[in-house]
């Protein structure tokens, strides 16, 4: 089956029929791509015995499996991570930063962050509160224009945030929760429809905000200088090392135009209020 | 049914204009095959050189361009690392000679454009090996922990020491003291191949033209692993196209004779004509007289030819998987005397069987 994420199409072969309904619930409303798939991917058993004996699944990109196998129950999460891997290791025509991207009034804010920073929870909250979701995982930035493009993917929620987001938005589409992955418990949330996605166009980045969740904290805002932002941004880029000076030039362009902040937050509503008041025009 | 024949794949590389009208479904397959055979970025360069890249569909261009960026980065990395290694070893008065991918990139040959390099290969004198290894290891180059068996394989039988990798940059460095395994009894006299070294722009030593080609031929046709063989043959095609002259052919012929790799040279020339449509080289007539037999023609046209097909599920069939298996056996046969070979295959196949049943990570240390 073909999974269309907008910018990239994946031809997915599943040895396990169980995950097909999940794929359909997340990507089923996308129209088929006009060109052939960009990646041939497969989720299948790593060896003969592993079909029966403590069943495992491996992710394959064309002829190879880049990661170690996971327990069968985590097949869908593995598929999503594998798709990220395909993009991050192949598309060197754009700068790819590990970051969430949200857009309001044609202005994009990117949130580069390390795991555990509350990025995905923040993304889910904002995507459900009227912001356009461009990505939960990857800012895809044009090397010439510096504009960020949208990707049609779900949000990957982890641990406590799964129940929290379910509580806030009970009518949304969630996958099952996959227990005890290397990231803890994981569930995916479909936070936008294909109809909404195709309205999203490449957009100028007006701010870079490095979020950090601190339980019960008041909102604290720190202004960053360009050097600090450059360092953190390049460290969070998947392909900065491959792009070399191309990556340097586009990051340089972005940080000179965007507002640069680091925030510590305990309440999501306060973050949104700050962004709407001080950044979005 | 295979999607493309060897000749068709070669034709896209030598006449990239023939891909202009390719339907998108075939483009998708061609991209997968060329990416897997490490030829996608080379394909970008040949299509650019023939001015047909711009005429390709956007779908193809984005994949080719991404491969080009990746290869360009590797190219810069090789220049950087080779310079580092040269300066480091100069301190102990050793001048390493760069081989294979690093050689091509340093000499800026046609085939270096878009060439993917998985490691950097250098050759040093056998008597310098200990101090070279020691110097590299005190400068952040380390080796993986190997099993006792693999360690013995390298130290006792191989023409190189266990691969080194740079702790910070993860570049892999292979340090050789010969061009082929001494245990085989066929390793050439190193002096014959290094008598003609050249100096690259950055001051690194590389083999001469004919020596570079002969080493590529030895590496390809003595190997048991044909995974990158199609790319390796394309390398040789471009090298010969760029360097051929009366003197070049004469040197190559003499060199092959002195090092006793004439038969491999013969294989290579026949296959270049058959697959890449090269013109008949002036030295072929002599080689024909000595090496052309029905049995050998069958070996070249069936076993070698089918093994050369890129290893990809779109091209795999019974014929090329059987041929590759025979080449695997032959490669080992050439490498080692029979008593060592039997023990070697027994140990390797025991591990292979376990991994077949329990997955390839089964033997990893936890």
Which ipTM did the prediction report? 0.93
Q: Of B178, B268, B265, B255, nearest to B229 (Cα)? A: B268
Sign of CA dihedral A82, A178, A44, B329: positive
Q: How many CB pairs under 8 A join A and B?
A: 62
Residues of chain B with Cβ-Cβ distance to A68 below 8 Å are 361
Which three-class secondary structure state does DSSP give residue A261?
Answer: strand
For residue B343, being part of any structural domain is answered with no
Looking at the fold, whether A105 and A18 belong to one and the same domain comes out as: no
Looking at the fold, whether A146 and A73 belong to one and the same domain comes out as: no
How confident is the model at residue B360, as a pLDDT? 62
Instruction: Write the CA distances from B216 to A12, A35, A206, B268, integer angstroms.
Output: 38, 39, 53, 10
Among the partner-chain residues B36, B69, B357, the one whose CB lies closest to the CB of A92 is B69
Instruction: Determine, for residues B312 and A49 on separate chains, whether the beta-carbon distance falls below 8 Å.
Output: no
Confidence grade of residue A18 (pLDDT, cut at 50, 70, 90): confident
Instruction: Determine, for residues A90 and B66 on separate chains, whether the beta-carbon distance falls below 8 Å.
Output: yes
* Own/partner long-range contacts of B34-39 (Cβ < 8 Å, ≥24 apart): B34/B9, B35/A62, B35/B63, B35/B67, B36/A62, B36/A63, B36/B310, B36/B311, B36/B312, B37/B228, B37/B230, B37/B231, B37/B310, B37/B311, B37/B312, B38/B116, B38/B228, B38/B231, B39/B13, B39/B114, B39/B230, B39/B231, B39/B234
Tell whether B352 is within 8 A of chain A (Cβ): no
Tell whether B282 is within 8 A of chain A (Cβ): no
Which value, in Å, is the radius of gyration of the alpha carbons in chain B?
Answer: 21
Residues of chain B with Cβ-Cβ distance to A242 below 8 Å are 69-70, 73
Q: What is the C-alpha separation between A132 and A128, in angstroms, rounded?
A: 9
Window 65-104 of B: residues touching A by CB (8 A cutoff) are 65-67, 69-70, 73, 76
Q: What is the C-alpha separation between B219 and B98, in angstroms, rounded?
A: 14
Looking at the fold, whether A84 and A98 belong to one and the same domain comes out as: no
- Could you give the angle at which helices B100-107 and B209-221 cross, rounded to 10 degrees? 150
Which three-class secondary structure state does DSSP give residue A58?
Answer: strand
Q: Which residues pair with A207 in a beta bridge?
A: A109, A259
* Number of helices (H), then strands (E), in chain B: 17, 7
| CATH number where B171 lies | 3.30.460.40
Domain ends where: A74, A90, A106? A90
Q: What is the C-alpha separation between B281 and B265, in angstroms, rounded?
A: 11
For residue B275, being part of any structural domain is answered with yes
Looking at the fold, whether A60 and A123 belong to one and the same domain comes out as: no
Nearest chain A Cα to B69, which residue?
A92
Does residue B210 come out as left (phi exceeding 0), alpha (psi in the -120 to 50 range) or beta?
A: alpha
For residue B352, being part of any structural domain is answered with no
| CB count in 10 Å sphere of residue B125 | 14
- Our CA-based measurement puts residue A47 at a distance from the nearest CA of chain B, in whole angstroms, of 5
Among the partner-chain residues A47, A62, A243, the one whose CB lies closest to the CB of B356 is A47
Nearest chain B Cα to A50, which residue?
B358
Nearest chain B Cα to A33, which residue?
B59
For every residue of B85-140, DSSP letters joined together read HHHHHHTTT---EEEHHHHHHHHT-GGGTT---SSEEEE--GGGHHHHHHHHHTTT
Strands B172-176 and B120-123: parallel
For residue B351, being part of any structural domain is answered with no
Among the partner-chain residues A47, A58, A91, the one whose CB lies closest to the CB of B358 is A47
CB-based contacts of B71: which residues, under 8 Å, 6+ apart?
B41, B42, B44, B114, B115, B116
Looking at the fold, whether A67 and A178 belong to one and the same domain comes out as: no
- Our CA-based measurement puts residue B27 at a distance from the nearest CA of chain A, in whole angstroms, of 9
Tell whether B25 is within 8 A of chain A (Cβ): yes
How confident is the model at residue B2, as a pLDDT? 61
Residues of chain A with Cβ-Cβ distance to B311 below 8 Å are 63
Among the partner-chain residues A40, A47, A243, the one whose CB lies closest to the CB of B357 is A47
Which three-class secondary structure state does DSSP give residue A98?
Answer: strand
Q: Of B123, B114, B126, nearest to B95 (Cα)? A: B123
- The answer to whether B327 and B271 are in contact (CB under 8 A) is no
For residue B359, being part of any structural domain is answered with no
Instruction: Determine, for residues B69 and A93 on separate chains, whether the beta-carbon distance falls below 8 Å.
Output: yes
State chain A's mean pLDDT as an integer. Answer: 93
Which residues of chain B are under the pLDDT cut of 50? 1, 366
Chosen for mutation from B22, B23, B24, B28 (greatest number of chain A CBs closer than 10 Å) is B28
Q: What is the mean pLDDT of residues A245-268?
A: 95
Instruction: Determine, for residues A242 and B73 on separate chains, whether the beta-carbon distance falls below 8 Å.
Output: yes
| CATH number where A226 lies | 3.40.50
Domain ends where: A90, A119, A146? A90
Chosen for mutation from A32, A36, A50 (greatest number of chain B CBs closer than 10 Å) is A36
Among the partner-chain residues B27, B311, B359, the one whose CB lies closest to the CB of A46 is B359
Instruction: Determine, for residues A36 and B36 on separate chains, whether the beta-carbon distance falls below 8 Å.
Output: no
φ/ψ of A95, rounded to 5, equals: -85, 130
For A106, the domain range is 93-281
Instruction: Determine, for residues B35 and A37 on separate chains, whether the beta-carbon distance falls below 8 Å.
Output: no
Instruction: Determine, for residues B59 and A62 on separate chains, whether the beta-carbon distance falls below 8 Å.
Output: no
Under an 8 Å CB criterion, which residues of A touch B?
Answer: 35-38, 40, 46-50, 56, 58, 62-63, 68-69, 90-93, 241-244, 246
Q: What is the C-alpha separation between A61 and B32, in angstroms, rounded?
A: 10
How confident is the model at residue A226, as a pLDDT? 96
Residues of chain A with Cβ-Cβ distance to B59 below 8 Å are 35-36
Looking at the fold, whether A246 and A154 belong to one and the same domain comes out as: yes
- Could you give the angle at which helices B209-221 and B246-259 cross, rounded to 10 degrees? 50
- The answer to whether B296 and B304 are in contact (CB under 8 A) is no
- Our CA-based measurement puts residue A199 at a distance from the nearest CA of chain B, in whole angstroms, of 22
Instruction: Determine, for residues A63 and B312 on separate chains, whether the beta-carbon distance falls below 8 Å.
Output: yes
Instruction: Determine, for residues A35 and B69 on separate chains, whether the beta-carbon distance falls below 8 Å.
Output: no
How many domains does chain B divide into? Answer: 1
Quote the tokens at residue B82: 């080779």
Nearest chain A Cα to B36, which residue?
A63
Which three-class secondary structure state does DSSP give residue A256?
Answer: helix
Looking at the fold, whether A112 and A223 belong to one and the same domain comes out as: yes
Looking at the fold, whether A104 and A69 belong to one and the same domain comes out as: no
Cα A255 from chain centroid (whole Å) = 21
> H-helix or E-strand containing B165?
strand B164-166
For residue B306, being part of any structural domain is answered with yes
Looking at the fold, whether A134 and A104 belong to one and the same domain comes out as: yes
Domain ends where: A68, A90, A112? A90
Looking at the fold, whether A262 and A148 belong to one and the same domain comes out as: yes
For residue B174, being part of any structural domain is answered with yes
Looking at the fold, whether A155 and A228 belong to one and the same domain comes out as: yes
Q: Which residues pair with A221 in a beta bridge?
A: A263
Instruction: Determine, for residues B356 and A93 on separate chains, whether the beta-carbon distance falls below 8 Å.
Output: no
Residue A48 predicted with pLDDT over 80: no
For B318, the domain range is 6-335
Looking at the fold, whether A143 and A214 belong to one and the same domain comes out as: yes
Per-residue exposure over B8-33, b if at least 16 CB sit within 10 Å of its own CB, e if not: ebbbbbbebeebeebeeeebbbbbbb
Q: Which residues pair with A115 in a beta bridge?
A: none
For residue B362, being part of any structural domain is answered with no
How confident is the model at residue B227, as a pLDDT? 94
How confident is the model at residue B148, as a pLDDT? 84
């Amino acid at each position: 089956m073909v999974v269309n994420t907008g910018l990239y199409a994946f031809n997915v072969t599943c040895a396990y029929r169980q995950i097909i309904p999940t794929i359909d619930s997340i990507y089923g409303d996308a129209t088929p791509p006009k060109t052939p798939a960009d990646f041939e991917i497969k989720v299948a058993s790593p060896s003969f015995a592993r079909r029966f004996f403590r069943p495992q699944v491996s992710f394959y990109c064309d002829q190879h499996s880049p990661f170690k196998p996971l327990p069968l129950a985590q097949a869908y999460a593995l598929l999503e991570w594998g798709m990220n891997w395909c993009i991050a290791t192949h598309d060197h025509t754009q700068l790819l930063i590990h970051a969430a991207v949200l857009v309001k009034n044609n202005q994009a804010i990117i949130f580069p962050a390390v795991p555990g920073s509350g990025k995905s929870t923040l993304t889910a909250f904002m995507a459900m509160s009227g912001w356009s979701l461009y990505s939960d995982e990857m800012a895809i930035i044009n090397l010439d224009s510096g504009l960020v493009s949208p990707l049609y993917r779900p949000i990957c929620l982890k641990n406590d945030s799964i129940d929290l987001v379910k509580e806030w938005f009970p009518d949304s589409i969630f996958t099952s929760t996959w227990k005890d992955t290397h990231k803890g418990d994981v569930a995916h949330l479909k936070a936008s429809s294909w109809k909404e996605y195709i309205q999203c166009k490449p957009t100028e980045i007006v701010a870079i905000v490095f979020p950090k969740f601190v339980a019960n904290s008041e909102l604290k805002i720190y202004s960053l200088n360009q050097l600090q932002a450059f360092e953190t941004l390049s460290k969070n880029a998947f392909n900065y090392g491959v792009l070399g000076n191309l990556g340097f030039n586009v990051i340089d362009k972005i940080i000179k135009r965007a507002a640069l902040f680091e925030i510590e937050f305990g309440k999501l509503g306060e973050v949104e209020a700050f962004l709407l008041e001080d950044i979005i025009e | 049914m295979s999607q493309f024949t060897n000749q068709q794949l070669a034709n896209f590389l030598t006449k990239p204009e023939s891909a202009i009208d390719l339907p998108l479904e075939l483009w998708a397959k061609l991209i997968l095959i060329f990416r897997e055979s490490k030829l996608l970025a080379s394909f970008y360069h040949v299509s650019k050189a023939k001015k047909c890249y711009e005429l390709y569909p956007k779908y193809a261009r984005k994949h080719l361009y991404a491969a080009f960026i990746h290869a360009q980065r590797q190219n810069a990395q090789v220049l950087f690392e080779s310079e580092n290694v040269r300066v480091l070893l100069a301190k102990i008065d050793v001048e390493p000679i760069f081989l294979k991918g690093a050689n091509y990139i340093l000499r800026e040959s046609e085939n270096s454009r878009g060439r993917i390099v998985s490691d950097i290969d250098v050759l040093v004198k056998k008597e310098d090996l200990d101090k070279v290894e020691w110097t590299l290891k005190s400068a952040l180059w380390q080796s993986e922990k190997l099993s006792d068996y693999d360690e013995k394989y390298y130290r006792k039988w191989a023409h190189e020491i266990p691969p080194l990798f740079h702790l910070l940059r993860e570049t892999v460095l292979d340090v050789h003291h010969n061009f082929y395994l001494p245990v085989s009894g066929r390793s050439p006299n190193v002096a014959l191949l290094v008598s003609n070294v050249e100096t690259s722009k950055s001051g690194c030593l590389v083999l001469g033209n004919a020596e570079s080609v002969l080493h590529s031929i030895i590496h390809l046709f003595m190997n048991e692993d044909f995974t990158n063989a199609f790319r390796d043959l394309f390398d040789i095609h471009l090298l010969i196209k760029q360097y051929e002259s009366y003197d070049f052919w004469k040197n190559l012929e003499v060199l092959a004779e002195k090092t006793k790799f004439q038969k491999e040279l013969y294989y290579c020339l026949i296959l270049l004509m058959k697959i890449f449509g090269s013109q008949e080289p002036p030295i072929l007539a002599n080689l024909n007289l000595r090496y052309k037999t029905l049995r050998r023609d069958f070996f070249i046209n069936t076993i070698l030819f089918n093994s050369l097909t890129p290893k990809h599920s779109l091209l795999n069939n019974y014929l090329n998987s059987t041929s590759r298996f025979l080449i695997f056996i032959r490669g080992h046969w050439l490498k080692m005397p029979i008593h060592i070979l039997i023990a070697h295959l027994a140990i390797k196949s025991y591990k292979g069987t376990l991994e077949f049943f329990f997955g390839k990570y089964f033997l990893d240390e936890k």
